[in-house]
């Protein structure tokens, strides 16, 4: 099997925000997102959630695929992104912070980052009903490298359990908050019963990638079309 590069896109919020917004880069305007999905589709790629991407990551399947992930679980993912994904029959994984459903990204508040609404339980059910997927992003969006091993276990194990109970679905995909992890943390994610964990290591994934250290490609407010294409089709991200 040839070693095909598989880009996994990392999004946060899909919404137009005013220029004054702190960390505006985290918000991709809906029109830009629409154009990016249109591009992926016209190039013959299929946008897939991590669950659907796995056969490609482990070499069982091959084809032109792009992973699509959203961190934190913003309400605008359901309102602005889901209809676009649906239009192209794409799926995506949204990583949820299990104790923060229906609230805001309070973990960013001390940095002055704009507070955005997170999906509520019923909105997450809508997201799932549209054929989209969810994964865990801990209970409280803790920096796992800054807390005790015992606390790391609680964050990783309990977020899985709570989401599984609430949505009656197996939660097998994990994402490290702030992209922060180490060897012991990725081993804990493995022991907890997840089958993947995504990071903020930049680059495209391939069949040799460690499933608990999956690299991603950040798509931000500043990712204009030519850069978007370079990130997906060239070694641009692999060298960063």
Q: In angstroms, rounded to a whole number, what is the distance separating the alpha carbons of residues 201 and 179?
A: 8
Q: Does 108 interact with Zn ion (rule: CB under 5 A)?
A: no
As measured in angstroms, the least distance from the Cβ of 177 to Zn ion is 5
The enclosing H or E element of 159 equals: helix 149-167
226 and 1 Cβ atoms separated by less than 8 Å: no
C-beta of 220: minimal distance to Zn ion in Å? Answer: 14
* From 71, 133, 173, 237, residue interacting with Zn ion (rule: CB under 5 A): 71
Sign of the CA dihedral running 88, 78, 69, 226: positive
Residue 178 CB, nearest approach to Zn ion (Å): 7
Q: Which of 47, 49, 56, 72 binds Zn ion (CB under 5 A)?
A: 72
Specify the stretch interacting with Zn ion by CB under 5 A; choose among 68-76, 122-130, 147-155, 185-193: 68-76
Evaluated on CA atoms 26, 30, 31, 33, the torsion sign reads: positive
Letters for 145-184 (x = contact with Zn ion by CB under 5 A, - = none) are: --------------------------------x-------
Distance CA 230, CA 67 (A): 16
When the beta carbons of 47 and 177 are compared against Zn ion, the nearer one is: 177
């Amino acid at each position: 099997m040839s070693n095909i590069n598989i880009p996994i896109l990392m999004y946060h919020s899909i919404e137009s925000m005013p220029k004054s917004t702190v960390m505006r880069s985290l918000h991709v305007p809906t029109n830009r997102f629409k154009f990016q999905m249109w591009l992926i589709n016209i190039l013959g790629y299929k946008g897939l959630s991590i669950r659907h991407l796995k056969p490609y990551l482990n070499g069982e399947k091959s084809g032109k695929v792009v992973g699509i992930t959203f961190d934190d679980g913003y309400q605008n993912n359901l309102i602005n992104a889901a209809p676009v994904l649906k239009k192209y029959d794409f799926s995506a994984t949204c990583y949820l912070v299990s104790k923060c459903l229906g609230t805001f990204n309070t973990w960013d508040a001390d940095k002055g980052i704009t507070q955005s609404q997170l999906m509520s339980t019923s909105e997450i059910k809508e997201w799932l009903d549209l054929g989209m997927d969810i994964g865990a992003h801990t209970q409280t969006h803790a920096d796992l490298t800054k807390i005790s091993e015992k606390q790391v276990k609680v964050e990783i194990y309990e977020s899985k359990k709570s989401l599984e109970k609430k949505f009656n679905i197996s939660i097998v995909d994990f994402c490290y908050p702030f992209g922060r992890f180490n060897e012991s943390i990725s081993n804990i994610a493995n022991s907890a019963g997840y089958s993947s964990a995504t990071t903020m290591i930049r680059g495209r994934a391939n069949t040799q990638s460690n499933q608990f250290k999956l690299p991603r490609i950040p798509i931000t407010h500043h990712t204009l079309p030519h850069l978007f294409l370079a990130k997906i089709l060239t070694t641009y991200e692999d060298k960063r």
